[in-house]
Amino acid sequence: MKSNRKIEHSFYARPDVLQIAQELLGKVLVSFQDGMLTSGMIVECEAYTGEQDKAAHVYGGKRTKRTEKMYGDAGHAYIYFCYGIHHLINVVTHSKGVPHAVLLRALEPVEGIDIMMARRKKLKLDYTLTRGPGSLCQAMGIHTRQNGVSLLGDDIWIEDRGIVIPEKEITCGPRIGVDYAGADALLPYRFWIKNNKYVSKAPKPKSKIKES
DNA sequence: CGACCGATCGTCT
DNA sequence: GACGATCGGTCGA
Mean pLDDT by runs of 10 across the 212 residues of chain A is: 88 98 98 96 98 98 97 98 98 98 98 98 96 98 98 98 96 95 96 96 61 40
* Residue A68, nucleotide of least CA–C1' distance: B11
Are the C-beta atoms of residues A111 and A39 closer than 8 Å to each other? Answer: yes
Chain C positions with a protein C-beta closer than 7 Å: 4-8
Are the C-beta atoms of residues A48 and A55 closer than 8 Å to each other? Answer: yes
Does the nearest atom of strand C lie within 7 Å of A82's Cβ? yes
Other residues' Cβ atoms within 10 Å of the Cβ of residue A155: 16
Check residue A210 and give its pLDDT: 40
Q: Is A145 helix (H, G, I), strand (E, B) or coil?
A: helix
Check residue A211 and give its pLDDT: 43
Does the nearest atom of strand C lie within 7 Å of A200's Cβ? yes
Check residue A209 and give its pLDDT: 42
Report the Cα A157 to chain-centroid distance in Å.
12
Residues 6+ apart with CB under 8 A from A204: none
Report the Cα A77 to chain-centroid distance in Å.
9
Q: Residue A98: which of A135, A72, A66 has the closest Cα?
A: A72
